[in-house]
Chain A
């Protein structure tokens, strides 16, 4: 089946620093999604990307849908303590009953 490689697995950064994480796949997707999960809660959708090359922002978050449709990245600028959590990427194909393929997540720790 399809697999996503999400990196890095974890990040420890200082408050105010910028963060970058990415996902790559051996196969193409029609949609890329980025979620954030706070401890003990369900993941929350941050950004959805629908078109190759698309660059979308949501506040301090920016994500891009790779031109090859096999990768995506998420950047967080000027990190703050509440950015702590697990970030998941997910790829979606139109012909897969709505099932998404999820990366294993990037755990972000922000030191004040």
Chain B
């Protein structure tokens, strides 16, 4: 069966520091991968999605970037964090082609 992992689970970082969040998927090949951000009590904002290694599409302009160095690895990064980057970051995968998305456990990021 398929499993999706995210780490770290929680992170507290100072403003201006770099960021690297990692997501890995097991048990499937060639997945579509997604990064979402969720503000407290709010909906899901799609940040990036990827249909293959090295292929990244950005949904909204922002202080973040994403990379997919391996088929089942998706990384969310920032060179300098802003206060507004705080939130709950969710990684998700779906099978190639249209299909349901399955979410990871999330990373709670607090920027101070």
DSSP class of A's interface residues: helix, strand, loop or mixed? loop
Q: Is the CB of A42 within 8 A of B32?
A: no
| A31 located at the interface, meaning its Cβ lies under 8 Å from any Cβ of chain B in the complex | yes
Whether, in the assembled complex, A28 has its beta carbon less than 8 Å from a beta carbon of chain B, the answer is no
Residues in chain B near residue A45, CB distance under 8 A:
100-102
Q: A48: CB under 8 A from chain B?
A: yes
**A33 and B100 contacting across the interface, CB-CB below 8 Å:** yes
* Residue of B51, B96, B104 touching A42 (CB-CB under 8 A): B104
Contact with B along A38-68 (1 / 0, CB 8 A): 0011111100100000000000000000000
Hey, what's the 0/1 contact readout for B68-99 against A, CB within 8 Å counting as 1?
00000000000000000000101010111111
The smallest C-beta distance from B19 to any residue of chain A, in angstroms, reads 19
Considering only CB atoms and an 8 Å cut-off, how many residues of chain A contact the other chain? 27
B43 to A104, Cβ gap below 8 A?
A: yes
Give A94 to B42 CA distance when docked, in angstroms.
26
B99 near A98 (CB under 8 angstroms)? Answer: yes
Q: Tell me the bound Cα distance from A41 to B103 in angstroms.
A: 9
A6 → chain B closest CB, angstroms: 8
A43 to B101, CA, bound (A): 10
A7 at the binding interface (Cβ < 8 Å):
no
Shortest distance between the CB of A92 and any CB in chain B (Å)? 6
Q: Specify the chain A residue showing the minimal Cβ separation from B33.
A: A98
**What is B's interface to A at a CB cutoff of 8 Å?**
32, 34, 41-44, 46, 49, 51, 57, 88, 90, 92, 94-106, 108
